[in-house]
């Protein structure tokens, strides 16, 4: 645990702050140079931001590719340049909608499963090595291809005539701002995202997190004892495999091992001293293949 070699922090990022700004505050507090996070949250959004330190940053991509869940508030009758309240309002309707529960049930069924989305211009996706949002700020629109994402579950509830509460669990690459716009288009009123909270990444829940204000108020020892955890703790639903000291060096050098274990897509690898080495995969040929080795 010393020097945060293989550790991470489950942060509840506040609204009004970019993910990078939150990361900088954490790095400054802990006096850490190397850190990264899994999945950018827009400034408007709050919720889970897993921050990885030093060697643990190798595992960022695993959680970037994980399923995620969100709670959101959708405002009907307004369209903005960014799809949320941070953008300029470009269209507004004052018509009072008469949505019924059956309308929301229809939309839930329509948007559940595999759907197509066109990534928004105000996003971190890159074109010719430059993030799309930089083009958007210069008034340039880049043609984007639609892509398929999966909505595992979606629940819509009417708050009032102009606001809908949405809870959604989805695959990687899903833009909740775009989903709000798609719903607004189907309703016929237009819509934007007025609130967004990321409540889950894989099996990590918001209840596991610490707010940024609380984090900044704690001493380093308090944080180490209660909030900064070894990164393997994030994989609490993943099976483990212990390798001998001899095989440890093979794994560290990226070599595969013949093992007596059922095939699985992801497995935690430990050495004989129960030190976490990283994650791997066991193939149909009963071979342990190292994927992300930290040591």
**Which residue in 225, 215, 231 sits closest to 268, CA to CA?**
231
| Rounded distance between C-alpha atoms, residue 36 and residue 45, angstroms | 18
- Encode burial over 159-186: b for 16+ CB neighbours within 10 A, e otherwise: eeebbbebebbbeeebbbbbbbbbbbee
Compute the Cα dihedral for 260, 264, 267, 269 and give only its sign.
positive
According to DSSP, residue 126 is labeled: E
- Of 42, 71, 247, 271, the active-site residue reads 42
CB 59 within 8 A of CB 292: yes
3-state secondary structure (DSSP) of residue 248: helix
Whether 42 is catalytic is: yes
Just list the catalytic residues: 42
């Amino acid at each position: 645990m010393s020097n945060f070699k293989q550790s991470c922090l489950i942060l509840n990022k506040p609204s009004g702050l970019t993910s990078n700004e939150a990361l900088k505050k954490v790095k400054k507090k802990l006096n850490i140079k190397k850190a990264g996070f899994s999945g950018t949250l827009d400034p408007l959004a709050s919720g889970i931001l897993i921050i990885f330190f030093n060697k643990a940053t190798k595992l960022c991509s695993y959680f970037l590719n994980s399923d995620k869940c969100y709670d959101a508030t959708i405002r009907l009758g307004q369209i903005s340049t960014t799809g949320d309240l941070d953008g300029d309002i470009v269209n507004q309707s004052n018509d009072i909608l008469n949505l019924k529960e059956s309308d929301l049930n229809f939309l839930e069924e329509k948007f559940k499963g595999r759907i197509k989305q066109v990534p928004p211009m105000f996003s971190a996706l890159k074109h010719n090595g430059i993030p799309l949002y930089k083009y958007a700020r210069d008034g340039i629109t880049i043609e984007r291809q639609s892509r398929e994402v999966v909505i595992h579950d979606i629940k819509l509830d009417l708050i009032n005539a102009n606001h809908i509460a949405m809870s959604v669990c989805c695959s990687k690459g899903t833009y909740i701002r775009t989903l709000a716009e798609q719903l607004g288009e189907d309703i016929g009123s237009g819509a934007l995202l007025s609130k967004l909270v990321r409540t889950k990444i894989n099996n990590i829940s918001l209840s596991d997190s610490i707010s940024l204000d609380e984090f900044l108020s704690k001493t380093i020892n308090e944080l180490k004892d209660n909030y900064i955890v070894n990164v393997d703790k994030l994989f609490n639903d993943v099976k483990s495999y212990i390798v001998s000291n001899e095989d440890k060096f093979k794994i560290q050098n990226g070599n595969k091992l013949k093992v007596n274990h059922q095939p699985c897509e992801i497995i935690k690898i430990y050495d004989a001293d129960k030190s976490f080495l990283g994650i791997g995969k066991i193939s149909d040929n009963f071979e342990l293949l190292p994927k992300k080795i930290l040591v």
